[in-house]
Amino acid sequence: MDRPAEAGRTPIPPRGLPSGVLTAGPACAVCFDLDLTLVEYDPDPEGMFREACERAGLAGDERGDLREAFVEGVRSNARSFEGDPFLAAARDLVADFDLPVAPERFSAAVKRAELAAMVVPPGVPETLAAVAAAHPVAVVTGGYGPVQRRKLRRTGLLCYADVVVTSTDVRAHKPDTALLRAALGALSRASGRGGDDATTAPADALVVGDSVEGDLEPALELGLDAVLVGARDPRAACSLDGPADLPRLLDCPRIRPPVQFGSVRIPTTFTRGGRPGSMAKQPHILAEQGDVTDLALVPGDPGRVERIAGHCENVEEVAQNREYRLVNAEYEGRELTICSTGIGCPSAAIAVEELSRIGVETFLRVGTTGALQSGIEIGDMVVATGAAKNEGTSKRYEAAEYPAVPDYDVLSALVDGAEANGEDVHVGPIASDDAFYAETDAYVEDWEEAGILSVEMEAATIFTLARRKDLRAGAICTVDGNLVEGTQKGETDAEELPEKARDNVERAIDISLTAAARL
């Protein structure tokens, strides 16, 4: 039965195909915009900025002067494609208005407010899943790449995209056709139909977006069909009322119906790239979507969770099972999660896997470590620039030759956090090992000669998993012994950690929380 045209809508002709029959020829690529196409925002931009000011501890922006200056600053800095435009704009704003807040904290508050305001209308994930079941899918979005990708991860929509292209990736802003050309080229190469400079043939692509200037006109310039979302233009193939109307896209003749084999239908809620779908409750940490924040401090020791929480406000225990103790808290307006990982890479991998499935995007390890260089004293702190894979877990995910390194922004935040707290830290490579009592003299000498600062038991796997999942991670560890000088934790004290190490764990916690507030 033909679908009647509704008032104010451009009719989409029905496919005119029996259920389960595929359209002839290869499936066209479908390129989706992100903001106001797949997601909406509540509150509006003004409300988001007010919330960011509150998160950063600033008084309300009654006249809108701060927001106007900040938005223009982001736009201006984004044109250079040099670094983080949010942070650059925050630095200018703090200086120009003499605001009593660190630029890093304000920039982070703005990003968190925008992420928290995202709303995915009902039907959007199901529509994406149905399209992705039969078509190559790209998300082509303007804006700062790391933030746009965080939006896709946060909403769970990333798993439906074969390719994501942002303005940062191609150093161009919409309406430049470079974004669409890059996405189509990547899809073409992935399909084996083109070389390094190939683009998908114009007849093989459909663009779906909310902007006449940013989405429709670049599509038309490349000879592509376009569907407008929340806008009207006679040049568009059709128009939808808004993101909530996206399911009507499945009636477009360019979209192939979901595949059927006999009476068995392929589920449209599948996930791409081998990413497991979220579960009602993760089996080891006993938490689910909505129970955690986007950033987690991950000590090994469950007892250290309480110590970290003692530096925070609004502490709420979420779950405790086996070695995994999980709480939420707030530090200087920054909402965060604290979850212990237990000892060693296998249990740390479980924590990262399950936390990432339910929304954590940034991991800060706060641990202890044994020094491998003379002159590094008990109680000193080490910020890792990488971790040698002297363990087995990371190698189940990838070859040992792949580097286990922290995210640059997290590494920088830890170093800056130490400086802000007046602390000296050692910055350099560490090693992650599986066998605490198998560290022979030859082992220690080899690592000392290689310039490895210290050895611990979790960082390599945390870094590896974060990189592979396009997440962020870093690590700061307090020295509890020096293997070169022959001291090891527990040898000279009834407690597990020497007194100086126990005391200085608190200082490492302060650094990690300062870093968290800036991320």
Torsion of the alpha carbons at 135, 139, 140 and 146, rounded to the nearest 10: -160
- Give me the percent of the chain exceeding a pLDDT of 70: 85
Residue 35 DSSP one-character state: B
Contact status, residue 477 vs residue 509, Cβ threshold 8 Å: no
Claim to verify: residue 254 and residue 380 sit in the same structural domain: no
* Residues with Cβ within 8 Å of residue 360, at least 6 apart in sequence: 292, 293, 294, 295, 296, 337, 471
153-178 mean pLDDT: 91
Tell me whether residue 20 is in a domain: no
Tell me whether residue 175 is in a domain: yes
Per residue in 52-109, pLDDT (tens digit) is 998 888 876 666 789 999 999 999 999 999 888 999 999 999 999 999 988 988 988 8
Claim to verify: residue 142 and residue 90 sit in the same structural domain: yes
Tell me whether residue 411 is in a domain: yes
User: Does residue 354 register a pLDDT over 90?
Assistant: yes
Claim to verify: residue 157 and residue 83 sit in the same structural domain: yes
Tell me whether residue 15 is in a domain: no
Claim to verify: residue 319 and residue 426 sit in the same structural domain: yes
Report how many domains make up the chain.
2
The range of the structural domain enclosing residue 123 comes to 25-277
386-406 mean pLDDT: 96
- pLDDT-derived band at 9, boundaries 50, 70, 90: very low
Does residue 204 or residue 341 have the better pLDDT?
Answer: 341
Contact status, residue 425 vs residue 511, Cβ threshold 8 Å: yes
Claim to verify: residue 232 and residue 312 sit in the same structural domain: no
pLDDT of residue 459: 98
Claim to verify: residue 259 and residue 300 sit in the same structural domain: no
Residue with tokens 């995007």: 361
pLDDT of residue 307: 96
* 57-91 burial code (b ≥16 CB/10 A, e <16): ebeebeeeebbebbeebbeebbeebeebbbbbbbb
Sequential DSSP letters for 155-186: HT-GGG-SEEEEHHHHT--TT-THHHHHHHHH
Claim to verify: residue 267 and residue 313 sit in the same structural domain: no
Model pTM above 0.85? no
Tell me whether residue 284 is in a domain: no
Claim to verify: residue 242 and residue 327 sit in the same structural domain: no
- pLDDT-derived band at 442, boundaries 50, 70, 90: very high
- pLDDT-derived band at 315, boundaries 50, 70, 90: very high
3-state secondary structure of 197: coil
Residue 499 pairs in a beta bridge with none
Q: The tokens of 399 are what?
A: 């070859």
Per residue in 272-305, pLDDT (tens digit) is 333 344 445 899 999 987 789 889 999 999 999 9
* Residues with Cβ within 8 Å of residue 48, at least 6 apart in sequence: 41, 110, 113, 114, 117
Claim to verify: residue 204 and residue 340 sit in the same structural domain: no
pLDDT of residue 112: 85
Upper half-sphere CA count for residue 397 (Cβ side, 13 Å): 23
- Rg, the chain, Cα only: 25
Question: CA of 467: how far to CAs of 138, 358, 386, 391, 407, in Å?
Answer: 21, 17, 12, 17, 8
* Residues with Cβ within 8 Å of residue 180, at least 6 apart in sequence: 31, 140, 205, 207, 218, 219, 222, 224
Rounded-to-integer distance, Cα 428 and Cα 430, Å: 7
Claim to verify: residue 348 and residue 419 sit in the same structural domain: yes
Does residue 70 or residue 490 have the better pLDDT?
Answer: 70
The amino acid occupying position 432 is S
State which of 246, 277, 308 marks the end of a domain. 277
Claim to verify: residue 207 and residue 311 sit in the same structural domain: no
Residue 312 DSSP one-character state: S
Helices assigned H by DSSP within 99-257: 103-117, 124-132, 145-155, 167-170, 178-190, 217-221
10 Å CB burial of residue 200 (0-12, 13-18, 19+) is buried
Claim to verify: residue 83 and residue 135 sit in the same structural domain: yes
Tell me whether residue 405 is in a domain: yes
10 Å CB burial of residue 159 (0-12, 13-18, 19+) is buried
CATH of the domain at 264: 3.40.50.1000
CATH of the domain at 373: 3.40.50.1580
